[in-house]
């Protein structure tokens, strides 16, 4: 139960795959250490139809359907944080005005541009990987997305803002949790091919963690929108890592 309950809670919060129920703060905080495993489940389910040959030979359509499936599985939760964060950051506002813009439910110009660029980027990157049959790399991108979120939470664990779920997850981002997250991410990454893509993917993901943490320090806090944006950055990093090495002769 020490593993099952937090993992189910992680799937419940991060996707539609877990049971719809309320969890106490302690259980939710404990989910952070299992974020990569939750990402592995989401990634495996999103990628499975194409691994088994659905629409093979039509990589653009595969990529679009996989993107739609991932949005459905996750309720587009993380994209909301991505758009909110870019709205606030792009405005150039500081202090309380930054947080007011982030909390505004209306989509602004910077958020709209970020959504377009992010979704288009995922579509193109997915197409490249699926055309090459790199299903493991695609599935692992979902793992890296949740690991990037956990790492960002660790960096901002002393910067909690507000009283929402973001604070709960930041509280769960302990050094022990981060060690488990890194271990899961590397083991799952080495279990798929090409493992040569791990280094560039991890480098891009770390860059995102550093930048998000720096922004949080400048603005005096971190909330759930930062964590949602980190998920998307990590997914893009995983796919970019494969694309960066996809032309190398050492790949099959």
> Which has the closest alpha carbon to 142: 25, 34, 4, 236?
236
Q: State pLDDT tens for residues 89-135.
A: 999 999 999 999 999 989 999 999 999 999 999 999 999 999 999 99
Q: State pLDDT tens for residues 64-75.
A: 999 999 999 999
Domain boundaries of the chain, sorted by first residue: 39-245
As a whole number of angstroms, the distance between CA 203 and CA 175 comes to 20
pLDDT score recorded for residue 249: 55
- Give the chain's residues under pLDDT 50: 1, 250-252
Q: DSSP secondary structure string, 139-176?
A: HHHHHHHHHHHHHHHHHTTT-B-SSSHHHHHHHH--HH
pTM value is: 0.94
pLDDT score recorded for residue 1: 44
Q: Are the C-beta atoms of residues 205 and 147 closer than 8 Å to each other? A: yes
As a whole number of angstroms, the distance between CA 185 and CA 118 comes to 23
Q: Produce one character per residue of 206-221: b if its CB has 16 or more CB atoms within 10 Å, e if not.
A: eebbeebbebbeebeb
Q: What angle do CA 6, 234, 100 make, to 5 degrees?
A: 85
As a whole number of angstroms, the distance between CA 205 and CA 241 comes to 9
Phi and psi, residue 5, nearest 5°: -65, -50
């Amino acid at each position: 139960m020490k593993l099952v309950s937090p993992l189910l809670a992680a799937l419940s919060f991060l996707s539609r795959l877990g049971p719809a129920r309320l969890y106490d703060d302690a259980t939710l905080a404990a989910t952070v250490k299992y974020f990569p495993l939750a990402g592995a489940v989401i990634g495996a389910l999103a990628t499975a139809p194409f691994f088994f040959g659905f629409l093979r030979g039509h990589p653009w359509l595969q990529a679009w359907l996989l993107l739609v499936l991932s949005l459905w599985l996750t309720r587009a939760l993380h994209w909301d944080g991505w758009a909110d964060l870019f709205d606030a950051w792009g405005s150039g506002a500081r202090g309380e005005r930054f947080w007011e813009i982030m909390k505004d439910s209306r989509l602004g110009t910077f958020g709209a541009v970020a959504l377009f660029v992010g979704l288009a980027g995922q579509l193109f990157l997915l197409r490249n990987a699926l055309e090459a049959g790199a299903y493991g790399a695609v599935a692992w991108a979902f793992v890296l997305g949740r690991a990037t979120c956990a790492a960002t939470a660790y960096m901002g664990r002393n910067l909690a803002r507000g009283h929402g779920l973001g604070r709960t997850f930041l509280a769960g981002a302990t050094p022990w949790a981060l060690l488990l997250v890194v271990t899961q991410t590397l083991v799952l990454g080495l279990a798929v091919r090409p493992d040569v893509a791990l280094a560039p993917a991890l480098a891009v993901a770390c860059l995102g963690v550093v930048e998000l943490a720096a922004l949080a320090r400048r603005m005096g806090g971190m909330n759930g929108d930062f964590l949602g944006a980190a998920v998307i950055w990590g997914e893009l990093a995983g796919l970019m890592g494969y694309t960066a090495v996809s032309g190398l002769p050492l790949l099959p």
